[in-house]
C-alpha cells in the first residue's frame, strides 16, 4: 500500500470538502440576510421593534456562532500553518463564536420580555441552549487540555479523540437547533408567501449541507 499516495488522496478530498463547506456556508449567510432584510423587518438589537430584535437571534446564531464553529473545525485540519497557529486560530474562532452566540441568545430572551412571552418552552430552545452550554464546556476543557502549558502530552493524546468526537457531535446538534429554529419561525409566520417559504427551505438546506461538508472535511483530514 502506497501511504504517501493515500495521504495525497485524502488531502485532496479534505480540501474539496472544505471548499464545498465554504460554498454552502456563505450561501446560507447570503440567503439568511436576504430573508431577514428583504422579507422581514431587518436586524437591530437596540430597536423598539421586537421583530427586529428577534431577527438578531437567527443571524448571530448561524452567521456568528455555527458558521464560526465550522470554520474553527476546518482551520485546525486544513489550514496551511504551524500546529501552534492552528490551535490558536481554532480556539480563537470558537471563542468569538461563543461571544456572538451569547448576544444571539440574549436577543431571543429580550424579544420574549418585550412581548411577555415565556422562555424555554420550545424544543428548539431546549436543543439550542443545551448545545451552547455543552460547547462552552467543550471550549473550556479544550483550552485547559490543549493550550495550557502544564498539560502533559499524554493527557492531550488521550483527550484528542474525545475532543474531536465531541466537536463533531455538537456541530450536528447546532445544525438541528438551527433547522428547528427555522421551522419554528416559519410556523410563526404562517409562511406568508411562497417565495419566502422556499427561501427559508433553501437556507435550511444550505446550513445542513454546510455542516455535513465540515464534518466530512474533519473526518478525512484525520488521515492526512
List, for residues 156-204, the tens digit of each pLDDT value.
Answer: 888 988 999 999 999 999 999 999 999 999 888 876 678 899 999 999 9
In DSSP notation, 5-40 reads HHHHHHHHHHHHHHHHHHHHHHHHHHHHHHIIIIIS
Could you give the 3-state DSSP secondary structure of residue 178? helix
Q: Write the DSSP symbol of residue 118.
A: P
Q: According to the model, what pLDDT value does residue 188 have?
A: 84
Smallest Cα–Cα separation from 63: which of 170, 174, 138, 147?
174
Q: Give tens-digit pLDDT for 117-158.
A: 999 999 999 999 999 999 999 999 999 888 777 778 888 888
Q: pLDDT higher for 15 or 132?
A: 132
Indicate the pLDDT class of residue 1, thresholds 50, 70 and 90: very low
CA-closest candidate to residue 87, choices 151, 13, 15: 151
User: pTM (2 decimals)?
Assistant: 0.90
Q: Please name the residue that has the C-alpha cell 482551520.
A: 75
HEC-encoded secondary structure of 86-103: HHHHHHHHHHHHHHHHHH
What is the grid cell recorded at 39? 422579507
Helix (H) or strand (E) holding 60: none
Q: Are 32 and 58 in contact (CB under 8 A)?
A: yes
Q: How far apart are CA 136 and CA 134, in angstroms?
A: 5
Maximum Cα interatomic distance, the chain, rounded to a whole number of Å: 65
For residue 186, give every residue at least 6 positions away whose Cβ sits within 8 Å of its Cβ, in sequence order, or none. 197, 200
Per domain, the residue ranges of the chain are 3-221
CB atoms near residue 46 (< 10 Å): 8
pLDDT at 107: 97
Rounded Cα–Cα distance for residues 47 and 99 (Å) = 21
Q: Within 10 A of 91 (CB to CB), how many other CB atoms are there?
A: 18
Q: Is 116 exposed, middle or buried (0-12, 13-18, 19+ CB in 10 A)?
A: exposed
CATH no., domain 3-221: 1.20.120.1770
Which position has the grid cell 429580550? 110
Q: What is the DSSP letter of 66?
A: I
Amino acid at each position: 500500500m502506497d501511504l504517501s499516495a493515500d495521504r495525497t488522496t485524502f488531502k485532496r478530498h479534505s480540501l474539496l470538502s472544505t471548499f464545498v463547506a465554504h460554498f454552502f456556508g456563505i450561501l446560507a449567510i447570503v440567503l439568511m440576510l436576504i430573508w431577514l432584510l428583504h422579507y422581514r423587518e431587518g436586524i437591530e438589537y437596540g430597536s423598539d421593534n421586537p421583530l427586529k430584535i428577534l431577527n438578531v437571534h437567527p443571524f448571530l446564531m448561524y452567521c456568528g456562532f455555527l458558521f464560526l464553529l465550522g470554520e474553527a473545525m476546518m482551520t485546525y485540519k486544513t489550514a496551511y500553518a504551524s500546529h501552534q497557529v492552528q490551535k490558536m486560530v481554532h480556539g480563537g474562532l470558537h471563542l468569538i463564536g461563543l461571544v456572538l452566540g451569547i448576544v444571539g441568545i440574549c436577543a431571543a430572551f429580550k424579544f420574549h420580555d418585550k412581548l411577555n412571552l415565556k422562555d424555554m418552552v420550545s424544543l428548539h430552545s431546549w436543543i439550542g441552549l443545551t448545545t451552547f452550554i455543552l460547547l462552552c464546556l467543550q471550549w473550556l476543557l479544550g483550552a485547559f487540555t490543549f493550550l495550557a502549558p502544564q498539560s502533559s502530552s499524554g493527557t492531550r493524546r488521550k483527550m484528542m479523540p474525545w475532543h474531536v468526537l465531541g466537536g463533531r457531535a455538537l456541530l450536528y446538534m447546532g445544525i438541528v437547533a438551527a433547522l428547528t429554529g427555522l421551522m419554528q419561525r416559519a410556523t410563526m409566520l404562517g409562511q406568508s408567501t411562497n417565495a419566502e417559504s422556499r427561501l427559508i427551505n433553501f437556507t435550511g438546506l444550505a446550513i445542513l449541507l454546510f455542516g455535513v461538508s465540515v464534518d466530512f472535511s474533519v473526518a478525512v483530514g484525520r488521515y492526512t
